[in-house]
Structure 1
Amino acid sequence: MTSTPVSETGAGSLRDRLFHPSTRQKLLAFASLLALVVFFSIANDNFLQIDNLVSILQSTAVNGVLAIACTFVIITAGIDLSVGTMMTFCSVMAGVFLTYWGLPIYFGIFAAIFFGALCGWTSGMLIAKLKVPPFIATLGMMMLLKGLSLVISGTKPIYFNDTPSFPQISQESLIGDLIPALPIPNAVLILFLVAIAAGVVLNKTVFGRYTFALGSNEEALRLSGVKVDFWKVTVYTVSGAICGIAGLLIASRLNSAQPALGQGYELDAIAAVVIGGTSLSGGTGTILGTIIGAFIMSVLINGLRIMSVAQEWQTVVTGVIIILAVYMDILRRRRQ
């Protein structure tokens, strides 16, 4: 009986990891991100200015957190079209607690995350218990939350001028205080903390295993005795809570809750998730890929804006990117 040398086994394992479809997708996405950075840097000298880079980081923080929320749902082969308006609704509720009621800042933080989780739980119940298709359930939730945000705020922005510490959540820089040469906003730090926590949950916990199993073969999971409905509702609840964090970040960045804001953010978030390698068919996906996808979307939109491309053409480009990302997902599925 012959034995395989350890070095050959290790090399084979490394080759398998490098040429695995999900790894190839992340490498391709990262190469695309670098290509975009190089292109826009050459096309416009202002792209690499510190202020512009900070702006990219700020926008990526919001879109990235929303994309992480979408990743959980899409891995289960679901979809959530309400993440953008849910983010807005959570920021409005934070405004109600802090500005209207004058409560301490931690009540506002709790309110945003709690109402996000509540909205996610409601969507999950509609999908799991009432068997409403995810597309329809979350489309209805999107419109409901858009209306509630306008009603609760009186169609006017809610400013956080009476809570001076609130903008620090997103705009201040703890890293910059330690290293002045790196004025990275707190929002980016929060993004990476959320990403690390989400990665650990997806890869190291029972909840994560069931999330992937729901997308891979829900019926097999049900036949094995797992409470499928409970875990599906839990996924949407967790996703909603993460949207609450995004609501805090965008409200802190603007120092106001803008009730008309939010619709359209879900497209950028879903695009980031798919570009990062998470399949719309469910069962596969990584948080790292989603973060790379979020940076691609932010760099692309910012670069087009820097080059004075009209808003309507930016929307056209975003639509093309989404179509290409979905088509690439279909090709990956066929090859597998």
Structure 2
Amino acid sequence: MTQSSSLLRRGSRMGMPDGRRLALLAVRYGMLAALLMWIVAMSILSEHFLTIYNFLNVARQAAPIIIIAVGMTLVMATGGIDLSVGSLVALVSVSSAALLSAGLPIYAVLAIVILIGAAAGAVNGSFVCLGLPPFVVTLSALVYLRGIAFVASNGYAVPVSDPVYLEIGRGSLAGIHLPIVIAAVVAVAGWYVLNRTRFGLHSLAVGGREEAARVMGLRITRIKIAVYTLTGALAGLGGVVATARLANGSPNAGMMMELDVIAAVVLGGTSLFGGVATVGGTVIGALFLNFVRNGLNLQGVNPFWVQVVSGFILLLAVLLNTVANRRIEEWARTRPAAEEDEA
């Protein structure tokens, strides 16, 4: 039985009218429907859109966003947010180039830069646990992490030529780009952690009602530090993938990526207020953003207008997430007065 049919039958047992059940499903799966409609529309408008090459190219471009957004989903599940992931990508990028230039082996470089990401995330989580707002903590990190990246590189991009490192961003496995494989593995692991482990369920409980979670005996501080640390580590991994694809370590890497990551998570249905999160929705949100940009580029739209459209998509995502979806769900679950009178 599919999740949608299960939801319909559950709504039927509750006495929910068909129209209201369909409205609830529209909230749950609206982004998937929007993605499919966009793909159909662009396939009609451009002969180059509906090709395996183009789809793999879009998925490869979306891979770093998906990797980082999985971590962001867990952070937002607790009611937090991390604005520093783009700057962390820049720090990992210049660190990778510097460590490779120093002659360190590739495996040591990968371990070090991912640990750098995890450490930065742990610092964010620690300050959040001290009572500071996540927005302020991670906004500060956004500034100082990129500042460190510029100081470390003197503002210059450094070429990366290590063939093993470059393989991470440009290689393939069974004909599928390696970044896509990495993103898929991270997404599956993230889905399992969120939905099938105590850690994931406890994270949702913290975001749903923190005081109730504390009364239940959940270790709030440990959970929050863990989700920020995990997000930092995944930002490090995403930075490695992005750096390997572009073949240079740049302090400008990851510029505005935090907005793409947040937009993907919010578009996917994860609540900005915590307690509701979905990794599958996050993946769909990231693909939707990249397919929109890809389709507009194939239509010859000015790149600056593509940026404008991306901004409006983020605004629309927040509007749907904070206002429209909540009101639709409340309406769908409320029995009409006429039905109550009959009952």
Q: 2:64, 2:242 within 8 Å by CA — same for their partners in 1?
A: yes
1:13, CA displacement in angstroms? Answer: 6.5
Taking a change above 3 Å as real, the CA distance of residues 109 and 12 of structure 1, as seen in their structure-2 partners, is closer
Output the CA distance in 1 between the equivalents of 2:25 and 2:70.
18
1:158, CA displacement in angstroms? Answer: 2.1
Structure 1 stretch displaced more, 318-327 or 187-196: 318-327
- Once the two structures are superposed, the pairs formed by residues 176-325 of structure 1 within 5 Å of their partners are 176=175, 184-325=176-317
Output the CA distance in 1 between the equivalents of 2:240 and 2:98.
13
Output the CA distance in 1 between the equivalents of 2:147 and 2:128.
21
Structure 1 stretch displaced more, 38-47 or 251-260: 38-47
Output the CA distance in 2 between the equivalents of 1:234 and 1:21.
36
- 1:148 counterpart residue number: 148
Output the CA distance in 1 between the equivalents of 2:202 and 2:24.
19
Q: 2:93, 2:253 within 8 Å by CA — same for their partners in 1?
A: no
Output the CA distance in 2 between the equivalents of 1:127 and 1:159.
36
Output the CA distance in 2 between the equivalents of 1:285 and 1:305.
31
- 1:15 counterpart residue number: 9
Taking a change above 3 Å as real, the CA distance of residues 159 and 25 of structure 1, as seen in their structure-2 partners, is farther
Match of 1:39 among 30, 38, 41: 41
Task: State the superposition RMSD in angstroms.
Answer: 2.1
Output the CA distance in 2 between the equivalents of 1:37 and 1:138.
35
Output the CA distance in 1 between the equivalents of 2:171 and 2:6.
46
TM-score by length of 1: 0.89
Taking a change above 3 Å as real, the CA distance of residues 46 and 209 of structure 1, as seen in their structure-2 partners, is same
Output the CA distance in 2 between the equivalents of 1:56 and 1:302.
7
- 1:118 counterpart residue number: 119
1:191, CA displacement in angstroms? Answer: 0.3
State the identity %: 37
1:287, CA displacement in angstroms? Answer: 0.6
Output the CA distance in 2 between the equivalents of 1:300 and 1:128.
37
* Deviation string, structure 1 residues 186-214 (Cα, Å, up to 9, x no partner): 10000010001111111122211111011
- 2:104 counterpart residue number: 103
Letter in 2 for 1:233: I
Letter in 2 for 1:47: F
* Deviation string, structure 1 residues 211-257 (Cα, Å, up to 9, x no partner): 10111011111222322112111110011111111011101111112
Q: 1:215, 1:281 within 8 Å by CA — same for their partners in 2?
A: yes
1:14, CA displacement in angstroms? Answer: 6.3
- 1:4 counterpart residue number: none
* Structure 1 unaligned regions, length at least 5: 1-6, 177-183
TM-score by length of 2: 0.87
Taking a change above 3 Å as real, the CA distance of residues 15 and 251 of structure 1, as seen in their structure-2 partners, is same
- Answer yes or no: is 1:333 the counterpart of 2:326: yes
SS in 2 for 1:288: helix
1:51, CA displacement in angstroms? Answer: 4.2
Output the CA distance in 1 between the equivalents of 2:53 and 2:11.
38
- 1:180 counterpart residue number: none
- 1:30 counterpart residue number: 32
1:291, CA displacement in angstroms? Answer: 0.4
Taking a change above 3 Å as real, the CA distance of residues 21 and 138 of structure 1, as seen in their structure-2 partners, is farther
1:314, CA displacement in angstroms? Answer: 1.4
* Structure 2 unaligned regions, length at least 5: 13-20, 331-343
SS in 1 for 2:147: helix
Q: 2:68, 2:85 within 8 Å by CA — same for their partners in 1?
A: yes
Q: 1:22, 1:277 within 8 Å by CA — same for their partners in 2?
A: no
